[in-house]
Chain A
Protein backbone atom coordinates (compact mmCIF):
# COMPACT_ATOMS: atom_id res chain seq x y z
CA UNK A 1 0.00 0.00 0.00
CA UNK A 2 2.87 2.38 0.80
CA UNK A 3 4.26 2.21 -2.71
CA UNK A 4 0.83 2.95 -4.16
CA UNK A 5 0.34 5.93 -1.79
CA UNK A 6 3.76 7.34 -2.74
CA UNK A 7 3.11 6.84 -6.46
CA UNK A 8 -0.29 8.51 -6.23
CA UNK A 9 1.12 11.38 -4.17
CA UNK A 10 3.84 11.96 -6.77
CA UNK A 11 1.24 11.99 -9.50
CA UNK A 12 -0.84 14.52 -7.53
CA UNK A 13 2.15 16.80 -6.95
CA UNK A 14 2.98 16.76 -10.66
CA UNK A 15 -0.66 17.50 -11.43
CA UNK A 16 -0.58 20.53 -9.12
CA UNK A 17 2.48 21.99 -10.82
CA UNK A 18 1.20 21.26 -14.32
CA UNK A 19 -2.14 22.95 -13.81
CA UNK A 20 -1.71 26.71 -13.27
CA UNK A 21 -5.17 27.01 -11.74
CA UNK A 22 -3.98 24.71 -8.94
CA UNK A 23 -0.68 26.33 -8.12
CA UNK A 24 -1.87 29.93 -8.47
CA UNK A 25 -4.31 29.94 -5.53
CA UNK A 26 -1.85 28.09 -3.32
CA UNK A 27 1.22 30.24 -3.87
CA UNK A 28 0.28 33.35 -5.77
CA UNK A 29 -2.87 34.43 -3.97
CA UNK A 30 -1.51 34.24 -0.39
CA UNK A 31 1.74 35.86 -1.54
CA UNK A 32 -0.10 38.80 -3.08
CA UNK A 33 -2.33 38.99 -0.06
CA UNK A 34 0.72 39.08 2.20
CA UNK A 35 2.29 41.82 0.10
CA UNK A 36 -0.85 43.95 0.16
CA UNK A 37 -1.41 43.38 3.86
CA UNK A 38 2.11 44.17 4.97
CA UNK A 39 2.36 47.11 2.59
CA UNK A 40 -0.96 48.68 3.47
CA UNK A 41 -1.69 47.76 7.06
CA UNK A 42 1.69 47.74 8.75
CA UNK A 43 0.70 50.65 10.96
CA UNK A 44 -1.61 48.18 12.73
CA UNK A 45 1.42 47.06 14.75
CA UNK A 46 1.41 50.40 16.55
CA UNK A 47 -2.10 49.80 17.90
CA UNK A 48 -2.40 49.19 21.61
CA UNK A 49 -2.67 45.47 22.28
CA UNK A 50 -0.62 44.48 19.22
CA UNK A 51 2.13 42.04 20.21
CA UNK A 52 5.67 43.30 20.35
CA UNK A 53 7.12 42.27 16.99
CA UNK A 54 10.17 43.22 14.93
CA UNK A 55 8.00 43.98 11.95
CA UNK A 56 4.44 43.57 10.68
CA UNK A 57 5.67 40.98 8.14
CA UNK A 58 6.86 38.76 11.02
CA UNK A 59 3.34 38.74 12.38
CA UNK A 60 1.61 38.22 9.02
CA UNK A 61 3.76 35.30 7.82
CA UNK A 62 1.81 32.77 9.88
CA UNK A 63 -1.47 34.05 8.44
CA UNK A 64 -0.16 33.71 4.89
CA UNK A 65 1.00 30.18 5.58
CA UNK A 66 -2.37 29.28 7.06
CA UNK A 67 -4.27 30.79 4.16
CA UNK A 68 -2.04 28.94 1.70
CA UNK A 69 -2.40 25.65 3.63
CA UNK A 70 -6.14 25.91 3.58
CA UNK A 71 -6.18 26.73 -0.11
CA UNK A 72 -3.85 23.77 -0.73
CA UNK A 73 -6.33 21.53 1.08
CA UNK A 74 -9.26 22.79 -0.96
CA UNK A 75 -7.26 22.64 -4.19
CA UNK A 76 -6.43 19.02 -3.42
CA UNK A 77 -10.17 18.45 -3.11
CA UNK A 78 -10.77 20.11 -6.49
CA UNK A 79 -8.13 17.87 -8.07
CA UNK A 80 -9.80 14.79 -6.59
CA UNK A 81 -13.19 15.96 -7.83
CA UNK A 82 -11.71 16.39 -11.32
CA UNK A 83 -10.43 12.81 -11.13
CA UNK A 84 -13.94 11.70 -10.24
CA UNK A 85 -15.52 13.78 -13.01
CA UNK A 86 -13.20 12.57 -15.75
CA UNK A 87 -13.37 8.95 -14.61
CA UNK A 88 -9.70 8.65 -13.63
CA UNK A 89 -10.82 7.52 -10.20
CA UNK A 90 -12.37 4.43 -11.83
CA UNK A 91 -8.95 3.48 -13.12
CA UNK A 92 -7.68 3.63 -9.53
CA UNK A 93 -10.71 1.82 -8.10
CA UNK A 94 -10.31 -0.99 -10.63
CA UNK A 95 -6.73 -1.58 -9.47
CA UNK A 96 -6.00 -3.95 -6.60
CA UNK A 97 -5.04 -1.24 -4.10
CA UNK A 98 -6.89 -0.56 -0.85
CA UNK A 99 -9.44 2.23 -1.33
CA UNK A 100 -7.93 4.44 1.42
CA UNK A 101 -4.63 4.47 -0.51
CA UNK A 102 -6.31 6.55 -3.20
CA UNK A 103 -7.29 9.21 -0.66
CA UNK A 104 -4.00 8.97 1.24
CA UNK A 105 -2.05 9.54 -1.97
CA UNK A 106 -3.94 12.76 -2.56
CA UNK A 107 -3.44 13.86 1.06
CA UNK A 108 0.24 13.00 0.89
CA UNK A 109 0.56 15.45 -1.98
CA UNK A 110 -1.23 18.14 0.02
CA UNK A 111 1.15 17.54 2.92
CA UNK A 112 4.10 17.84 0.55
CA UNK A 113 2.67 21.11 -0.72
CA UNK A 114 2.64 22.22 2.93
CA UNK A 115 6.41 21.65 3.12
CA UNK A 116 6.85 23.74 0.01
CA UNK A 117 4.59 26.47 1.37
CA UNK A 118 6.46 26.76 4.63
CA UNK A 119 9.76 26.96 2.73
CA UNK A 120 8.37 29.55 0.28
CA UNK A 121 6.94 31.89 2.89
CA UNK A 122 9.92 31.60 5.21
CA UNK A 123 12.26 32.35 2.30
CA UNK A 124 10.08 35.26 1.28
CA UNK A 125 10.05 36.51 4.85
CA UNK A 126 13.83 36.28 5.16
CA UNK A 127 14.31 38.15 1.89
CA UNK A 128 12.08 41.00 3.06
CA UNK A 129 13.59 41.28 6.52
CA UNK A 130 11.59 38.93 8.71
CA UNK A 131 13.30 36.55 11.08
CA UNK A 132 12.45 33.48 13.12
CA UNK A 133 13.27 34.34 16.70
CA UNK A 134 13.37 30.72 17.83
CA UNK A 135 16.11 29.98 15.29
CA UNK A 136 16.58 26.68 13.53
CA UNK A 137 14.30 24.87 15.98
CA UNK A 138 11.60 27.39 15.15
CA UNK A 139 12.05 26.87 11.43
CA UNK A 140 11.82 23.13 11.91
CA UNK A 141 8.68 23.48 14.02
CA UNK A 142 7.07 25.61 11.30
CA UNK A 143 8.16 23.05 8.70
CA UNK A 144 6.24 20.44 10.67
CA UNK A 145 3.15 22.43 11.64
CA UNK A 146 2.38 23.91 8.22
CA UNK A 147 2.39 20.57 6.32
CA UNK A 148 0.31 19.01 9.11
CA UNK A 149 -2.16 21.88 8.83
CA UNK A 150 -2.30 21.47 5.04
CA UNK A 151 -2.90 17.75 5.55
CA UNK A 152 -5.73 18.46 7.99
CA UNK A 153 -7.36 20.98 5.64
CA UNK A 154 -6.80 18.47 2.87
CA UNK A 155 -9.09 15.99 4.62
CA UNK A 156 -11.87 18.59 4.47
CA UNK A 157 -11.23 19.17 0.75
CA UNK A 158 -11.24 15.42 0.22
CA UNK A 159 -14.54 15.01 2.05
CA UNK A 160 -16.11 17.73 -0.10
CA UNK A 161 -14.80 16.14 -3.29
CA UNK A 162 -16.03 12.68 -2.35
CA UNK A 163 -19.47 13.97 -1.39
CA UNK A 164 -19.99 16.30 -4.31
CA UNK A 165 -17.92 14.57 -7.00
CA UNK A 166 -17.87 17.86 -8.87
CA UNK A 167 -14.97 20.31 -9.01
CA UNK A 168 -17.26 23.32 -9.30
CA UNK A 169 -18.89 22.48 -5.97
CA UNK A 170 -15.55 22.15 -4.18
CA UNK A 171 -14.32 25.33 -5.83
CA UNK A 172 -17.34 27.23 -4.53
CA UNK A 173 -15.91 26.76 -1.03
CA UNK A 174 -12.99 29.10 -1.79
CA UNK A 175 -14.71 32.19 -0.30
CA UNK A 176 -15.22 30.27 2.93
CA UNK A 177 -11.46 29.99 3.25
CA UNK A 178 -11.31 33.76 3.67
CA UNK A 179 -14.17 33.74 6.17
CA UNK A 180 -12.43 31.10 8.29
CA UNK A 181 -9.09 32.91 8.06
CA UNK A 182 -10.52 36.32 8.94
CA UNK A 183 -12.60 34.91 11.77
CA UNK A 184 -9.36 33.80 13.40
CA UNK A 185 -6.19 35.37 14.67
CA UNK A 186 -4.30 34.40 11.51
CA UNK A 187 -3.79 37.99 10.33
CA UNK A 188 -4.70 40.09 13.38
CA UNK A 189 -4.39 39.53 17.12
CA UNK A 190 -7.56 38.32 18.76
CA UNK A 191 -7.54 41.34 21.06
CA UNK A 192 -7.90 43.67 18.09
CA UNK A 193 -10.77 41.82 16.48
CA UNK A 194 -14.23 43.24 17.08
CA UNK A 195 -17.24 41.09 17.92
CA UNK A 196 -18.38 38.60 16.78
CA UNK A 197 -15.04 37.83 15.09
CA UNK A 198 -13.29 38.04 18.43
CA UNK A 199 -15.48 35.37 20.07
CA UNK A 200 -15.42 33.16 16.99
CA UNK A 201 -11.64 33.41 16.85
CA UNK A 202 -11.46 32.11 20.42
CA UNK A 203 -12.94 28.80 19.26
CA UNK A 204 -11.67 28.72 15.67
CA UNK A 205 -9.02 25.99 15.35
CA UNK A 206 -7.38 28.19 12.73
CA UNK A 207 -6.46 30.63 15.53
CA UNK A 208 -4.68 27.91 17.49
CA UNK A 209 -2.77 26.68 14.46
CA UNK A 210 -1.80 30.18 13.31
CA UNK A 211 -0.63 31.17 16.79
CA UNK A 212 1.45 27.98 17.08
CA UNK A 213 3.13 28.79 13.76
CA UNK A 214 3.59 32.45 14.72
CA UNK A 215 5.00 31.61 18.16
CA UNK A 216 8.55 30.72 17.01
CA UNK A 217 8.62 33.62 14.52
CA UNK A 218 7.89 36.44 16.93
CA UNK A 219 9.12 34.90 20.17
CA UNK A 220 10.22 31.55 21.46
CA UNK A 221 8.72 28.10 21.20
CA UNK A 222 6.22 27.52 23.97
CA UNK A 223 4.76 24.11 24.73
CA UNK A 224 1.28 25.53 25.35
CA UNK A 225 1.00 27.27 21.98
CA UNK A 226 2.52 24.30 20.14
CA UNK A 227 0.15 21.86 21.81
CA UNK A 228 -2.81 24.13 21.12
CA UNK A 229 -1.74 24.28 17.49
CA UNK A 230 -1.47 20.52 17.29
CA UNK A 231 -4.88 20.26 18.95
CA UNK A 232 -6.33 22.60 16.33
CA UNK A 233 -4.80 20.47 13.57
CA UNK A 234 -6.11 17.32 15.24
CA UNK A 235 -9.65 18.76 15.45
CA UNK A 236 -9.72 19.78 11.79
CA UNK A 237 -8.07 16.52 10.75
CA UNK A 238 -10.44 14.39 12.81
CA UNK A 239 -13.53 16.13 11.43
CA UNK A 240 -12.17 15.96 7.88
CA UNK A 241 -11.12 12.32 8.18
CA UNK A 242 -14.48 11.28 9.63
CA UNK A 243 -16.35 13.12 6.88
CA UNK A 244 -14.00 11.72 4.22
CA UNK A 245 -14.52 8.17 5.47
CA UNK A 246 -18.27 8.61 5.42
CA UNK A 247 -18.15 10.20 1.99
CA UNK A 248 -15.89 7.47 0.61
CA UNK A 249 -18.19 4.79 1.96
CA UNK A 250 -21.18 6.61 0.53
CA UNK A 251 -19.51 6.94 -2.87
CA UNK A 252 -18.44 3.31 -3.01
CA UNK A 253 -21.92 2.18 -1.98
CA UNK A 254 -23.56 4.43 -4.54
CA UNK A 255 -21.35 3.15 -7.36
Chain B
Protein backbone atom coordinates (compact mmCIF):
# COMPACT_ATOMS: atom_id res chain seq x y z
CA UNK B 1 0.00 0.00 0.00
CA UNK B 2 1.17 3.52 -0.72
CA UNK B 3 1.96 5.58 2.37
CA UNK B 4 1.36 8.81 0.45
CA UNK B 5 -0.70 9.24 -2.70
CA UNK B 6 -1.00 12.65 -4.27
CA UNK B 7 -3.08 13.40 -7.32
CA UNK B 8 -3.04 16.80 -9.04
CA UNK B 9 -2.53 18.59 -5.73
CA UNK B 10 -2.79 22.35 -5.96
CA UNK B 11 -2.59 25.30 -3.64
CA UNK B 12 -3.39 28.83 -4.62
CA UNK B 13 -2.85 31.93 -2.49
CA UNK B 14 -5.19 34.69 -3.59
CA UNK B 15 -6.50 34.54 -7.12
CA UNK B 16 -3.29 34.32 -9.04
CA UNK B 17 -0.42 32.93 -7.01
CA UNK B 18 -0.12 29.17 -7.41
CA UNK B 19 2.38 27.84 -4.90
CA UNK B 20 1.71 24.26 -6.00
CA UNK B 21 0.34 23.73 -9.48
CA UNK B 22 -0.92 20.18 -9.65
CA UNK B 23 1.62 17.66 -8.48
CA UNK B 24 1.32 13.87 -8.54
CA UNK B 25 3.42 11.54 -6.49
CA UNK B 26 3.32 8.26 -4.66
CA UNK B 27 5.48 7.17 -1.76
CA UNK B 28 5.53 3.51 -0.81
CA UNK B 29 5.44 2.27 2.76
CA UNK B 30 8.91 2.05 4.27
CA UNK B 31 10.43 4.34 1.67
CA UNK B 32 12.51 7.49 2.17
CA UNK B 33 11.36 10.05 -0.37
CA UNK B 34 13.16 13.36 -0.78
CA UNK B 35 11.40 16.39 -2.16
CA UNK B 36 14.16 18.51 -3.60
CA UNK B 37 13.87 22.10 -4.66
CA UNK B 38 15.09 25.63 -4.04
CA UNK B 39 13.46 28.12 -1.67
CA UNK B 40 9.97 29.02 -2.83
CA UNK B 41 9.62 25.92 -5.01
CA UNK B 42 6.51 24.71 -3.19
CA UNK B 43 8.09 22.10 -0.91
CA UNK B 44 6.81 23.45 2.38
CA UNK B 45 3.37 24.23 0.95
CA UNK B 46 3.12 20.60 -0.17
CA UNK B 47 4.19 19.31 3.24
CA UNK B 48 1.71 21.61 4.95
CA UNK B 49 -1.09 20.21 2.80
CA UNK B 50 -0.02 16.62 3.42
CA UNK B 51 0.12 17.21 7.17
CA UNK B 52 -3.37 18.83 7.21
CA UNK B 53 -2.01 22.26 8.15
CA UNK B 54 -3.08 23.74 4.83
CA UNK B 55 -6.18 22.98 2.83
CA UNK B 56 -5.51 22.15 -0.82
CA UNK B 57 -7.13 24.37 -3.45
CA UNK B 58 -7.52 21.37 -5.72
CA UNK B 59 -6.62 17.73 -6.21
CA UNK B 60 -6.49 14.99 -3.61
CA UNK B 61 -3.96 13.56 -1.22
CA UNK B 62 -4.08 10.49 0.97
CA UNK B 63 -1.62 9.86 3.76
CA UNK B 64 -1.50 6.48 5.53
CA UNK B 65 -4.68 5.64 3.64
CA UNK B 66 -6.64 8.69 4.82
CA UNK B 67 -7.78 11.73 2.87
CA UNK B 68 -6.02 14.86 4.13
CA UNK B 69 -9.20 16.96 3.90
CA UNK B 70 -12.01 14.62 4.89
CA UNK B 71 -10.12 12.38 7.31
CA UNK B 72 -7.70 14.94 8.71
CA UNK B 73 -7.88 13.58 12.29
CA UNK B 74 -6.94 10.09 11.11
CA UNK B 75 -4.06 11.55 9.15
CA UNK B 76 -2.82 13.44 12.22
CA UNK B 77 -2.91 10.27 14.28
CA UNK B 78 -0.75 8.45 11.74
CA UNK B 79 1.89 11.07 11.04
CA UNK B 80 4.78 12.72 12.79
CA UNK B 81 5.79 16.20 11.72
CA UNK B 82 9.05 18.09 12.23
CA UNK B 83 8.56 21.48 10.69
CA UNK B 84 11.06 23.81 9.09
CA UNK B 85 13.05 25.90 11.55
CA UNK B 86 11.78 23.81 14.45
CA UNK B 87 8.82 25.72 15.89
CA UNK B 88 9.75 25.25 19.53
CA UNK B 89 8.82 27.31 22.55
CA UNK B 90 12.14 28.64 23.89
CA UNK B 91 10.65 28.96 27.39
CA UNK B 92 9.84 25.28 27.74
CA UNK B 93 12.36 22.64 28.72
CA UNK B 94 13.03 19.71 26.43
CA UNK B 95 11.34 17.35 28.87
CA UNK B 96 8.23 19.55 29.13
CA UNK B 97 7.85 19.71 25.36
CA UNK B 98 8.32 15.98 24.97
CA UNK B 99 5.68 15.26 27.63
CA UNK B 100 3.29 17.80 26.13
CA UNK B 101 3.69 16.14 22.73
CA UNK B 102 2.94 12.77 24.29
CA UNK B 103 -0.25 14.03 25.94
CA UNK B 104 -1.38 15.74 22.72
CA UNK B 105 -1.06 12.36 21.01
CA UNK B 106 -3.21 10.66 23.60
CA UNK B 107 -0.46 9.11 25.71
CA UNK B 108 -1.20 9.55 29.40
CA UNK B 109 0.32 9.32 32.86
CA UNK B 110 3.39 7.22 33.47
CA UNK B 111 3.46 6.05 29.87
CA UNK B 112 3.87 9.62 28.66
CA UNK B 113 6.74 10.17 31.10
CA UNK B 114 8.44 6.91 30.10
CA UNK B 115 8.03 7.67 26.40
CA UNK B 116 9.46 11.15 26.88
CA UNK B 117 12.51 9.76 28.70
CA UNK B 118 13.09 7.10 26.02
CA UNK B 119 12.92 9.62 23.21
CA UNK B 120 15.11 12.17 24.97
CA UNK B 121 17.69 9.43 25.35
CA UNK B 122 17.28 8.34 21.75
CA UNK B 123 17.94 11.83 20.40
CA UNK B 124 20.79 12.37 22.86
CA UNK B 125 19.14 15.08 24.94
CA UNK B 126 18.60 13.38 28.27
CA UNK B 127 21.40 15.45 29.83
CA UNK B 128 19.85 18.69 28.60
CA UNK B 129 16.23 17.69 29.19
CA UNK B 130 15.65 20.17 32.00
CA UNK B 131 17.26 23.09 30.22
CA UNK B 132 15.09 25.63 28.47
CA UNK B 133 14.95 25.11 24.72
CA UNK B 134 16.09 28.68 24.24
CA UNK B 135 19.55 27.58 25.40
CA UNK B 136 19.78 24.68 22.89
CA UNK B 137 21.99 24.79 19.81
CA UNK B 138 20.43 24.48 16.35
CA UNK B 139 21.33 20.80 16.18
CA UNK B 140 19.82 20.09 19.60
CA UNK B 141 16.61 21.85 18.60
CA UNK B 142 16.34 19.76 15.45
CA UNK B 143 16.93 16.56 17.38
CA UNK B 144 14.32 17.54 19.95
CA UNK B 145 11.89 18.41 17.17
CA UNK B 146 12.53 15.02 15.59
CA UNK B 147 12.03 13.34 18.95
CA UNK B 148 8.67 15.02 19.53
CA UNK B 149 7.55 13.91 16.07
CA UNK B 150 8.24 10.29 17.07
CA UNK B 151 6.40 10.30 20.37
CA UNK B 152 3.41 8.32 19.06
CA UNK B 153 5.45 6.04 16.78
CA UNK B 154 4.06 7.46 13.54
CA UNK B 155 3.74 5.40 10.37
CA UNK B 156 4.72 8.32 8.19
CA UNK B 157 7.22 10.97 9.20
CA UNK B 158 7.37 14.37 7.51
CA UNK B 159 10.61 16.29 7.86
CA UNK B 160 10.60 19.77 6.39
CA UNK B 161 14.20 20.79 5.68
CA UNK B 162 15.46 18.91 8.74
CA UNK B 163 19.09 19.97 8.44
CA UNK B 164 18.92 23.48 7.01
CA UNK B 165 21.48 25.65 8.75
CA UNK B 166 23.10 22.80 10.67
CA UNK B 167 26.81 22.10 10.83
CA UNK B 168 28.07 18.87 9.19
CA UNK B 169 28.25 16.93 12.46
CA UNK B 170 24.68 17.80 13.46
CA UNK B 171 23.54 17.06 9.92
CA UNK B 172 25.14 13.62 9.99
CA UNK B 173 23.51 12.92 13.34
CA UNK B 174 20.06 13.73 11.93
CA UNK B 175 20.77 11.60 8.85
CA UNK B 176 21.74 8.64 11.05
CA UNK B 177 18.54 8.96 13.01
CA UNK B 178 16.44 9.16 9.84
CA UNK B 179 18.10 6.02 8.50
CA UNK B 180 17.53 4.25 11.82
CA UNK B 181 13.85 5.20 11.80
CA UNK B 182 13.48 4.00 8.27
CA UNK B 183 15.15 0.70 9.18
CA UNK B 184 12.47 0.34 11.84
CA UNK B 185 9.79 0.66 9.17
CA UNK B 186 8.85 4.34 9.23
CA UNK B 187 8.07 5.94 5.90
CA UNK B 188 9.95 9.23 5.62
CA UNK B 189 8.99 12.16 3.41
CA UNK B 190 11.61 14.87 3.63
CA UNK B 191 12.03 18.16 1.89
CA UNK B 192 15.46 19.51 1.29
CA UNK B 193 17.38 22.00 -0.77
CA UNK B 194 20.57 20.01 -0.28
CA UNK B 195 21.52 17.65 -3.09
CA UNK B 196 23.80 15.70 -0.81
CA UNK B 197 20.99 15.10 1.65
CA UNK B 198 18.68 13.75 -1.02
CA UNK B 199 21.48 11.63 -2.40
CA UNK B 200 22.52 10.25 0.98
CA UNK B 201 19.09 9.45 2.33
CA UNK B 202 16.48 8.99 -0.32
CA UNK B 203 15.55 5.97 -2.33
CA UNK B 204 13.60 8.23 -4.65
CA UNK B 205 13.78 11.94 -5.29
CA UNK B 206 11.10 14.29 -6.53
CA UNK B 207 12.37 17.55 -7.98
CA UNK B 208 10.01 20.47 -7.61
CA UNK B 209 10.47 23.92 -9.13
CA UNK B 210 7.95 26.68 -9.47
CA UNK B 211 5.24 24.55 -7.91
CA UNK B 212 5.47 21.73 -10.47
CA UNK B 213 7.19 18.36 -10.41
CA UNK B 214 10.12 18.62 -12.76
CA UNK B 215 11.38 15.06 -12.36
CA UNK B 216 11.06 12.01 -10.18
CA UNK B 217 12.99 8.77 -9.77
CA UNK B 218 15.87 7.12 -8.02
CA UNK B 219 19.00 9.30 -7.87
CA UNK B 220 20.78 6.79 -10.12
CA UNK B 221 18.03 6.75 -12.73
CA UNK B 222 17.70 10.53 -12.70
CA UNK B 223 21.40 10.99 -13.21
CA UNK B 224 21.50 8.39 -15.96
CA UNK B 225 18.61 10.18 -17.61
CA UNK B 226 20.44 13.47 -17.96
CA UNK B 227 23.78 12.25 -19.20
CA UNK B 228 26.77 9.98 -19.18
CA UNK B 229 29.92 10.28 -17.10
CA UNK B 230 32.57 12.71 -18.31
CA UNK B 231 36.33 12.48 -18.38
CA UNK B 232 38.33 15.59 -17.63
CA UNK B 233 42.03 15.40 -18.52
CA UNK B 234 44.71 17.98 -17.69
CA UNK B 235 47.72 17.77 -19.97
CA UNK B 236 51.08 18.55 -18.30
CA UNK B 237 53.02 20.26 -21.08
CA UNK B 238 50.89 20.00 -23.85
CA UNK B 239 49.38 20.54 -26.97
CA UNK B 240 45.76 20.92 -26.13
CA UNK B 241 44.72 20.80 -29.77
CA UNK B 242 46.50 17.47 -30.16
CA UNK B 243 44.93 16.17 -26.95
CA UNK B 244 41.51 17.20 -28.20
CA UNK B 245 42.17 15.28 -31.40
CA UNK B 246 43.13 12.13 -29.48
CA UNK B 247 40.38 12.33 -26.92
CA UNK B 248 37.80 13.28 -29.51
CA UNK B 249 38.11 9.77 -30.91
CA UNK B 250 36.83 8.36 -27.62
CA UNK B 251 33.94 10.69 -26.84
CA UNK B 252 32.21 13.95 -27.58
CA UNK B 253 34.27 17.02 -26.68
CA UNK B 254 32.72 19.23 -24.02
CA UNK B 255 33.57 22.82 -23.10
CA UNK B 256 35.84 23.05 -20.07
CA UNK B 257 38.44 25.24 -18.37
CA UNK B 258 41.78 26.18 -19.93
CA UNK B 259 44.51 23.53 -19.92
CA UNK B 260 42.09 20.65 -19.76
CA UNK B 261 40.07 18.63 -22.19
CA UNK B 262 36.70 17.13 -21.31
CA UNK B 263 34.87 14.40 -23.17
CA UNK B 264 31.79 12.29 -22.62
CA UNK B 265 32.49 8.79 -21.40
CA UNK B 266 29.62 6.67 -22.76
CA UNK B 267 31.26 3.43 -21.63
CA UNK B 268 31.98 4.71 -18.13
CA UNK B 269 35.22 4.26 -16.18
CA UNK B 270 36.09 1.07 -18.08
CA UNK B 271 37.18 3.21 -21.02
CA UNK B 272 39.75 5.17 -19.04
CA UNK B 273 42.64 2.69 -19.40
CA UNK B 274 42.39 2.74 -23.21
CA UNK B 275 42.27 6.53 -23.27
CA UNK B 276 45.36 6.84 -21.06
CA UNK B 277 47.21 4.45 -23.38
CA UNK B 278 46.17 6.51 -26.42
CA UNK B 279 47.40 9.72 -24.80
CA UNK B 280 50.68 8.04 -23.85
CA UNK B 281 51.22 6.76 -27.36
CA UNK B 282 50.58 10.28 -28.67
CA UNK B 283 53.25 11.63 -26.32
CA UNK B 284 50.83 13.67 -24.26
CA UNK B 285 51.76 13.48 -20.54
CA UNK B 286 48.70 13.40 -18.32
CA UNK B 287 48.84 15.69 -15.27
CA UNK B 288 45.50 14.67 -13.79
CA UNK B 289 42.47 12.75 -14.82
CA UNK B 290 38.97 12.85 -13.34
CA UNK B 291 35.92 10.78 -14.12
CA UNK B 292 32.97 13.07 -13.37
CA UNK B 293 29.64 11.41 -12.72
CA UNK B 294 26.42 13.35 -13.39
CA UNK B 295 25.12 14.90 -10.17
CA UNK B 296 21.63 15.69 -9.00
CA UNK B 297 22.50 19.30 -9.69
CA UNK B 298 23.04 18.33 -13.34
CA UNK B 299 19.61 16.72 -13.20
CA UNK B 300 18.21 19.87 -11.68
CA UNK B 301 19.81 22.08 -14.32
CA UNK B 302 18.55 19.91 -17.15
CA UNK B 303 15.04 19.60 -15.76
CA UNK B 304 14.51 23.14 -14.53
CA UNK B 305 16.97 25.23 -16.47
CA UNK B 306 18.76 26.49 -13.40
CA UNK B 307 21.12 25.34 -10.71
CA UNK B 308 19.80 24.39 -7.29
CA UNK B 309 20.14 27.25 -4.82
CA UNK B 310 22.19 26.30 -1.78
CA UNK B 311 23.61 23.18 -3.38
CA UNK B 312 27.10 24.25 -2.59
CA UNK B 313 26.35 24.37 1.11
CA UNK B 314 25.73 20.67 1.34
CA UNK B 315 29.18 19.46 2.16
CA UNK B 316 29.36 15.73 2.65
CA UNK B 317 29.48 14.88 6.31
Contacts and interface: CB of A to CB of B under 8 A. Distances in A.
B92 A7 contact: no
A96 interface: yes
Given A93-B53, A94-B53, A88 B103 contact: no
B204 interface: no
A86 B87 contact: yes
Given A14-B91, A94-B51, A96-B77, A4 B104 contact: yes
Given A4-B104, A96-B106, A91 B92 contact: no
Interface string A86-118: 111011111111000000000000000000000
Contact of B76 (A3, A8, A95): A95
A15 B55 contact: no
Given A11-B100, A91-B83, A255 B54 contact: yes
Contacts of A91: 81, 83, 87-88, 101, 148
B108 interface: yes
Nearest to A98: B73
Interface string A1-39: 001100110010011001100000000000000000000
B55 A255 contact: yes
B4 to A, nearest CB: 15
B189 to A, nearest CB: 14
Interface string B88-107: 11011000100111011110
A94 B76 contact: yes
Contacts of B92: 11, 14-15
Contacts of A93: 52-53
A90 B87 contact: yes
Nearest to A253: B55
A4 B77 CA distance: 14
B85 interface: yes
Contacts of B105: 95-96
A255 B19 CA distance: 13
Given A94-B52, A94-B53, A94-B81, A19 B91 contact: yes
Contact of A87 (B52, B85, B103, B104): B85
A3 B106 CA distance: 8
A87 B88 CA distance: 8
Contact of A90 (B79, B83, B96): B83
Give the contact-size bracket for chain B: 20 to 34
Q: Looking at A90, A93, A96, A255, which has the most chain B CB atoms within 10 Å of its CB? A: A96
A255 B53 contact: yes
Interface in A201-255: 253, 255
Contacts of B96: 11, 14
A92 B89 contact: no
Contacts of A18: 91, 132
B158 to A, nearest CB: 9
B104 A7 contact: yes
A253 B57 CA distance: 11
A88 B89 contact: yes
A95 B85 contact: no
Interface string B19-30: 000000000000
A90 B52 CA distance: 10
B214 to A, nearest CB: 27
B100 A7 contact: yes
Contacts of B100: 7-8, 11
Contact of B88 (A19, A88, A94, A255): A88
Nearest to B74: A96
A9 B101 CA distance: 14
A7 B47 CA distance: 27
Contacts of B148: 91
A136 to B, nearest CB: 36
Nearest to A91: B87
B54 A15 contact: no
Contacts of B99: 7
Nearest to B78: A96
Nearest to B81: A94
A89 B76 CA distance: 14
Contacts of A96: 73, 76-77, 104-106
A97 B54 contact: no
Given A83-B89, A93-B53, A255-B53, 18 more contacts: A4-B104, A7-B100, A7-B103, A7-B104, A8-B100, A11-B100, A14-B92, A14-B96, A15-B92, A18-B91, A90-B83, A91-B148, A94-B51, A94-B53, A94-B81, A95-B104, A96-B76, A96-B106
Closest 7 CB pairs of A and B: A87-B87, A95-B104, A96-B76, A7-B103, A96-B77, A18-B91, A94-B81
21 contacts: A3-B103, A4-B103, A7-B99, A7-B103, A7-B104, A8-B100, A14-B96, A15-B89, A18-B91, A19-B91, A86-B89, A87-B83, A87-B87, A90-B87, A91-B81, A91-B83, A93-B52, A95-B104, A96-B77, A96-B104, A253-B55
